[in-house]
């Protein structure tokens, strides 16, 4: 029995390699067939499901991407590719809240495994785009609702004072009303991100802030890249610095989260 299982696993792995080769040559139908055979032999291997999902993604077959990725994350709840492509599929199918949650899971798992990998950056870009689009939808709705409410209040105020002949009082109250609604709309007006929420190297808002022993906070992927390619020292203080000395700056991470929650426009990437 064990020999049969081992033989099936070897055969499935070979089919995966065949599928990878077909995929590189853009023979998506053949790749899907190979991964499907591998799944039939060994249905509990998550990478076979994510590989097939990638083929469906290239074909823009988002329903099948969702199906395969749901299976992949059931088998491996830390599957970065599974959560990532599931998020993309859900967004494409206009399941926005679920899609954003899947991308957030992909980002969390990706940072834990490979914090400065290209995939973490790619996931962040997609998540930021989705969050910005979510803010745009919500902001448009809020603006429309505020304008309708303001118009109704102004009409009611004018009608009230028509019968009381208090023109000066009406003008002042209308002016005060406009100030109130302008204040209510302030959170949706793009301004500048506070400096303390931005990396000193990239000048962008923090995504995954880490603090050095000298008290300087950097974006994790950026400082790791500096330590690997430039040298083992803090780029600002010039003190010796090793990756193991970096600690997540939870206070700044929470402050960034609170700022983005209130000011979704800050997700927009230049």
Question: Exposure string (b/e) for 206-223, b if CB count within 10 Å is 16 or more?
Answer: bbbbbbbeeebbbbbbbb
Residue 266 carries which DSSP code? G
Sign of CA dihedral 145, 146, 151, 155: positive
The whole-model pTM stands at 0.78
Q: Would strands 217-219 and 247-248 be described as parallel, antiparallel, or unpaired? A: unpaired
pLDDT in tens, 120-156: 889 999 999 999 999 999 999 989 999 999 899 888 8
Q: How large is the average pLDDT for residues 93-114?
A: 90
Indicate the pLDDT class of residue 1, thresholds 50, 70 and 90.
very low
Q: How far apart (Å, rounded) are the C-alpha atoms in residues 27 and 21? A: 9
pLDDT in tens, 257-269: 999 998 999 998 6
pLDDT in tens, 237-254: 999 999 999 999 999 999
What's the chain's Rg over C-alpha atoms? 26
**Taking a C-beta distance cutoff of 8 angstroms, is the pair 89, 72 a contact?**
no
Indicate the pLDDT class of residue 3, thresholds 50, 70 and 90.
low
SS3 assignment, position 114: coil
CA distance readout (Å), 216 to 9, 229, 231, 239, 245: 49, 19, 17, 11, 12
């Amino acid at each position: 029995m064990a020999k049969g299982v081992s033989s099936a696993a070897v055969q499935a792995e070979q089919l995966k390699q065949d599928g990878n080769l077909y995929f590189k040559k853009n023979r998506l139908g053949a790749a899907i067939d190979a991964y499907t055979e591998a799944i039939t032999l060994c249905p509990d291997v998550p990478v076979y499901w994510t590989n097939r999902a990638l083929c469906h993604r290239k074909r823009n077959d988002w329903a099948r991407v969702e199906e395969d990725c749901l299976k992949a994350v059931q088998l491996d709840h830390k599957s970065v590719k599974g959560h990532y492509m599931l998020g993309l599929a859900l967004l494409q199918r206009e399941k926005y809240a679920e899609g954003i949650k899947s991308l957030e899971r992909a980002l969390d798992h990706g940072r834990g495994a490979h914090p400065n990998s290209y995939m973490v950056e790619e996931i962040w870009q997609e998540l930021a785009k989705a969050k910005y689009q979510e803010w745009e939808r919500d902001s448009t709705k809020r603006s429309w609702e505020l304008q309708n409410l303001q118009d109704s209040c102004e009409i009611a105020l004018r009608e009230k004072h028509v019968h009381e002949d208090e023109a000066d009082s009406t003008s002042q109250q209308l002016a005060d009303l406009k100030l109130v609604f302008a204040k209510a709309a302030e959170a949706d007006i793009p301004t500048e991100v506070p400096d303390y929420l931005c990396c000193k190297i990239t000048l962008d808002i923090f995504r995954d802030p880490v603090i050095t022993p000298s008290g300087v906070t950097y974006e994790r992927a950026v400082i790791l890249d500096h330590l690997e390619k430039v040298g083992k020292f803090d780029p600002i203080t010039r003190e010796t610095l090793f990756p193991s000395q970096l600690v997540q700056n939870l206070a700044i991470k929470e402050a960034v989260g609170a700022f983005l929650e209130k000011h979704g426009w800050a997700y927009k990437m230049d």
